Amino acid sequence: MAKKYDVIVIGGGPGGLSCGALLAKWGFNTLLLEKNEYTGGKAVTPTNKDGFSYELGPKLQVPAQGPSFAVAFKELGIEAQLKPIALKASGLAYRGRSGKYNKAVLPASAGGLDPAPLMGLLELDQSQQDAALKFLTEMALMPAEQVSALDDLTTEQWLSQSGDVPWPLYSYMMMHANGSLAEPIDLVSASEQVQIMQDIALKGAAGYYVGGFGRVLDDLAKAVKSNGGEIKTRTRVEKIKVSNGRVTGVTADNDTFEAPIVVSDAGIQPTVLKLVGEKEFDQGYLSWVKGLIPGWCFTGVKYFLNKKVLAEQLYNVWADDTALNLERFRKQRAGKVADEIMLFATVPSNWDPNMAPPDKQCIVAGTICSPDPKAEEIKTLHDRLDKMWEKLYPGVMDALMYKEIEGPAEVSEFTRDSVLKGQGGECVGLGQIVGQCGKYQPSPKAPIGGLFYTGADVGIAGMGTHKASGGGIKTARMVLQYKRLREAMI
């Protein structure tokens, strides 16, 4: 006999867990199915045999104050368990017009990042500094309705309309589009990027958690169970069952689980094209789904060091000609990887000392790349990351014990199935590109009765986990309303 539930959630990433925990709390008999050994999705924090804990790629919480996790934890009554750590300072290195890399440490305050050291780093003269400060202030304080009005513009289009933005500041925005949104400046929606820059400027710059992001997700998984829900890991959903235009449940590992509502955190494209199947949708919807553009990926190297080398919690390294726009991305895809690339890194134990054995350090470093699991440039990018450390922070390679690598193939295998050419390794999901966010954000409600999406694809404005967990909350509220309306009709 198939087991019956009120709702089945497919996938235990930040979106699925936030959604599942809230639905369980609100009285839904909830089953969450996760294909991996453990829940957490792209935000897991494993610990290796030597006692190093780290994330899949450099991870930061933006906004540091009031992220979606805090909203979910409060609603679940477990807010005391969320243990955020604030950014103290970030290490930046930038090669500008002088042709050599300048380094700066930007202190963070409760209010956000102090822009003063940035001006020196960017080699701005006085009139450029005045223009830069004006631009940064206006961007930070832009009212919400003006931010929303930027939905239709890429950041590049918006900046070119803004007039006198000094070139190094444009380059800084390019780096942020890549580093914070995993998108190029000529594809990313200006509304989405401004929202994130506001979060950085005004809400504590960036944060992390005691025990890493994985601990936050473990707490959400515990909340699913403590509210009466069930979680089955190592259980891959093969099919979402549909009858007469309504979902009836799922099949997973030769088992059938029944429910009138199914919420999928597996990504819109894999859900529609693989889990449900094309025949259940009309052609217009299918062509919209197939036309959605995947976000880019981070490919990374984790460096395990026999001593503490780096002092800051996070590092960003870039140059005017290393930040990726579409043209440079296409060259990289064609195998012409530049000698220097951008480098983003976090040092988990500089946030929480328990993340590494005493006197040792793990650096989680990455650079932006295609989400294509078959991307061939990944190995070269890893070699370039090593060279960037040798050039700028040579102590890292001197103290190296061993490395671990990852790229879009690993991200896809671990989280989102590749169902379209070049898709699968998305770092965030869909939704930060013009036409896919803001007023164009895909709805959590699918055109099949009882089927909902959750997670980053249908999330709120903002960076990765904030977007995805916000998507979980949004979907949970919609499912609750759906159930109430259906009950009212019967």
Ligand X SMILES: Cc1cc2nc3c(=O)[nH]c(=O)nc-3n(C[C@H](O)[C@H](O)[C@H](O)COP(=O)(O)OP(=O)(O)OC[C@H]3O[C@@H](n4cnc5c(N)ncnc54)[C@H](O)[C@@H]3O)c2cc1C
Residue whose CB is less far from ligand X, 76 or 468 = 468
Cβ 48 to ligand X shortest distance, Å = 17
Sole binder of ligand X in the list 89, 317, 396, 456 (CB under 6 A): 456
Q: Which of 415, 471, 420 is nearest to 443 (CA)?
A: 471
Measuring CA to CA, how many Å separate 264 from each of 93, 100, 446? 40, 48, 10
Q: Which of 9, 16, 191, 221 binds ligand X (CB under 6 A)?
A: 16
Nearer to ligand X (CB atom), residue 13 or residue 450: 13
Identify the residue among 7, 8, 9, 10 touching ligand X (CB under 6 A): 10
286-315 positions binding ligand X, by CB under 6 A: 298, 300
> Residue 475 burial (CB < 10 Å; 0-12/13-18/19+)?
buried
Question: By CB under 6 A, what part of segment 336-375 binds ligand X?
Answer: 366
Residue of 365, 329, 316, 323 lying closest to 341 (CA atoms): 323
Contact region with ligand X (CB under 6 A), list: 80-88, 89-97, 286-294, 462-470: 462-470
Choosing from 237, 314, 345, 473, the residue that interacts with ligand X (CB under 6 A) is: 237
* Number of residues near ligand X (by CB under 6 A): 40
List Cα–Cα distances, 34 to 30, 107, 136, 192, 290, in angstroms: 13, 40, 42, 30, 25
Q: Strand order of the sheet with strand 112-113?
A: 112-113, 101-109, 89-95, 314-319, 343-346, 361-369, 297-305, 400-406
C-beta closer to ligand X: residue 10 or 185: 10
- Give the C-alpha separation, 384 to 402, whole Å: 17
Shortest distance in whole angstroms from residue 150 CB to ligand X: 21
From candidates 5, 6, 9, 11, binder to ligand X by CB under 6 A: 11
Q: Are 430 and 463 spatial neighbours (Cβ–Cβ below 8 Å)?
A: no
Angle formed by the axes of helices 190-202 and 126-140, nearest 10°: 100
Distance (Å, rounded) from C-alpha 22 to C-alpha 76?
Answer: 7
Query: And the tokens for 338?
Result: 């530049």
Tell me how far apart the alpha carbons of residues 429 and 468 are, in angstroms, rounded to a whole number.
9
Among 266, 305, 347, 478, binds ligand X (CB under 6 A): 266
Q: Which of 6, 34, 151, 352 binds ligand X (CB under 6 A)?
A: 34
Compare residues 277 and 394 and give the one whose CB is closer to ligand X: 277
Residues 76-115 that bind ligand X (CB under 6 A): none
Residue 35 or 360 with smaller CB distance to ligand X: 35
Which range of residues in 31-39, 76-84, 319-327, 443-451 is near ligand X by CB under 6 A?
A: 31-39
- Using the contact rule CB under 6 A, the part of the chain among 58-66, 224-232, 388-396, 474-482 near ligand X is 58-66
Per CB under 6 A, which region of 53-61, 87-95, 152-160, 482-490 contacts ligand X?
A: 53-61
Near ligand X by CB under 6 A: residue from 20, 41, 91, 407: 41
| Residue with Cβ nearer ligand X (60 or 292) | 60
Footprint of ligand X on 463-482 (CB under 6 A): 463-466, 468
Least CB distance from residue 276 to ligand X, whole Å?
A: 11
One of 8, 33, 159, 181 touching ligand X (CB under 6 A): 33
Q: 386-395 contacts: CB < 8 A, separation 24 or more?
A: 386/301, 387/339, 387/340, 388/317, 388/340, 388/341, 388/343, 389/303, 389/343, 389/365, 391/101, 391/340, 392/93, 392/101, 392/103, 392/317, 392/343, 393/309, 393/310, 393/315, 395/309, 395/310
Binding mask 387-426 for ligand X (x = CB under 6 A): ------------------------x---xxx---------
Applying CB under 6 A, which part among 56-64, 189-197, 302-310, 435-443 lies near ligand X? 56-64
Phi (first) and psi of residue 45, to 5 degrees: -130, 85
Q: What's the rounded Cα separation, in Å, for the pair 395 and 226?
A: 46
Q: Residue 468 CB, nearest distance to ligand X (Å)?
A: 3
Tell me the C-alpha distance between 101 and 154, whole Å: 28
68 binding ligand X? (CB under 6 A)? no
Whichever of 155 and 432 has its CB closer to ligand X, that residue is 432
Residue 43 Cβ, how far from ligand X at the closest point, in Å? 4
Pairing of strands 89-95, 84-86: unpaired
Locate 118 and state its tokens.
């940035």
In whole angstroms, the minimum distance from the beta carbon of 469 to ligand X comes to 8
Binding mask 196-235 for ligand X (x = CB under 6 A): ----------------------------------------
Q: Which is nearer to ligand X, 350 or 465 (CB)?
A: 465
| Interface with ligand X (CB under 6 A), residue from 259, 427, 437, 473 | 427
User: Where do contacts with ligand X occur on this chain (CB under 6 A)?
Assistant: 10-16, 33-36, 41-43, 56-60, 236-237, 265-266, 298, 300, 366, 411, 415-417, 427-429, 455-456, 463-466, 468
